Amino acid sequence: MEGMAPPRMPSAADVNAYHSPLSAWISQGFGFLASLYSSLETSPSFSWHQIWVIWVQIRANAVAPVLKLAEVLCLIMSVMLITEKLSMGTASLFAKVFRWRPERRYKWVPMGQDLEMGSLAYPMVLVQIPMFNERQVYKLSIGAVCGLSWPSDRIIVQVLDDSTDPEIKELVEQECKKWESKGINIKYEIRDNRHGYKAGALKEGLKRDYVHNCDYVAIFDADFQPEADFLLRSIPFLIHNSQVALVQVRWKFVNANECMMTRIQEMSMDYHFKVEQESGSTMYGFFGFNGTAGVWRISALEEAGGWKDRTTVEDMDLAVRATLCGWKFIFAGDIKVKSELPSTFKAYRNQQYRWACGPSNLFRKTAEEIRRTKKISLWRKIHLMYSFFVVRRIISHIVTFTFYCVVIPASVFVPEVNISSWGVVYIPTTITLLNSVGTPSSFHLLPFWIFFENVMSMHRTRAVLTGLLDMGKVNEWVVTEKLGNAVKASNDKEPGKKSGSPSSKRILLPELGMAVCLFLCACYDFACGKNNYFFYIYPQSITFFIQATFDTFSSES
């Protein structure tokens, strides 16, 4: 238009002013490579000094910026993680000091005798026991459930047997018939397929006609042994609090002292129950259902959409959907159910892969649903998405491996990167001490717990990324092998009874590779470094090596 000056074209300086730091690094890197290529053409031969000079330039211009960025991101994630752990620890401590037990927060009236109504005063309860080739432990759970104190005409025991071994199926069926002959209302249910795995079995079990009269359903895995008063102590929470959908109780491990690995598992699991679930129940009325040793209100389960097999954590999936419907959960830590920890390294790795991959995949599939729901408060949404999923199920694994197994060891080769002492020392020390509160008797095992968990973080990080990207073995379900350790010392072996499947001799190459890399980092730091990281890196590399070859050692012993 007339009277208007033509627009000025941006100069190169204007464009450069808007370049991001990442673009600047890329430009700098390309310029360095060009100069390096030029020197290669003009120099007929290289000396070791020239090679060192080139490495110093590469380190300063390419490696150091990337490592510094990784350090900053890891420190941010570490702050997020320790903040979350401190908040959970504070809530758990509050509940313990002020005795803020579920009986004080919710109405609980013991089950009493009603002379007029008799057994009709007790609600109908279904008890489900899903199992798959559980030769070693099927008698434990069936026997314990059949011994529950509850009117025999108001309880139905349902054994959901997905076993593929005909011999085991026959043994389980005979065990059910034995208890049926004693007057127990027990049903033996099988399927002609394993569609949906555990979720599919539980879903099919709820479709039976005799279930329609049941108000609540208790679930126990094949290695769980509830005490006789389990229902008498848990069901009243559901009867007198109509907004409560789930009562989850604590696990007690019968084989915790079997070996170092089970002791370390006990420390992690005790922290999960005493701190994570206690704080979730106290502050938000929400936590992840553990898949066993809990009682559901069947109407709440159905309102949430029932069991789904879209992930390998069908229990957590159900808990999230029930929360989005407005239901609350109670963690009754005073009620304990005996169970078994994985006592073989292979079984433990399979379990941890499923527990790390499933939640990240569930977050991918439910994040939008959580954001859009209007049935829960904004505060509970934030807790569910940020605290429960992002920090505890994703960041905790990624930062443990990336920071302590990659960034810190790699920094010994890059003196341009100086990691803050609060990130290297104070944060991990605080996190470690917080994790020890669940099992004070194992405080002396903290160093072993640290190195073991750091190694397992590599396996868990791989699982988390698999779940987030929804790829690979994201929906592969591997049943955790149980060995029935609770009765091995007292019961003789059954005739024809097979022992657990033999361990295959194999070396975990990724872990072995990390062991070698960490060993080289420690050696370099010992010879040339100034931060004395080798005190930490040497034992960490040894732990990686032990776990990489553990299957081989265990199969030869």
Return all residues near 478 (Cβ < 8 A) that are at least 6 apart: 350, 353, 354
Dump the DSSP string for 363-420: HHHHHHHHHH--SS-HHHHHIIIIIIIIIIIIIHHHHHHIIIIIIHHHGGG-TT----
Q: What is the CA radius of gyration of the chain?
A: 28
Active site residue 309: no
Dump the DSSP string for 166-187: HHHHHHHHHHHHHHHTTT--EE
Asked if 329 and 278 touch (Cβ cutoff 8 Å), the reply is no
CA distance 531 to 526: 9
Quick one: which of 259, 342, 287 has its CA closest to 557? 259
CA distance 507 to 358: 25
416 burial type by CB count under 10 A (0-12 exposed, 13-18 middle, 19+ buried): middle
Active site residue 315: yes
The upper half-sphere exposure of residue 431, i.e. CA atoms within 13 Å in the direction of its Cβ, equals 24
Asked if 338 and 145 touch (Cβ cutoff 8 Å), the reply is no
Which of 162, 223, 317, 525 is flagged as catalytic? 162
Asked if 200 and 128 touch (Cβ cutoff 8 Å), the reply is no
Quick one: which of 212, 208, 214 has its CA closest to 125? 214
Return all residues near 475 (Cβ < 8 A) that are at least 6 apart: 310, 311, 312, 361
Handedness of CA 187, 192, 197, 199 (dihedral sign): negative
How long is the chain? 557
- b (16+ CB within 10 A) / e for 468-502: beeeeebbebebbbbbbbbeeeeeeeeeeeeeeee
Asked if 358 and 467 touch (Cβ cutoff 8 Å), the reply is yes
CA distance 361 to 386: 15
CA distance 159 to 204: 12
> Which residue in this structure is represented by tokens 């979730």?
280
135 burial type by CB count under 10 A (0-12 exposed, 13-18 middle, 19+ buried): buried
> Which residue in this structure is represented by tokens 């470690």?
432
Which of 161, 315, 317, 525 is flagged as catalytic? 315
380 burial type by CB count under 10 A (0-12 exposed, 13-18 middle, 19+ buried): buried
Q: Which residues are catalytic?
A: 162, 315
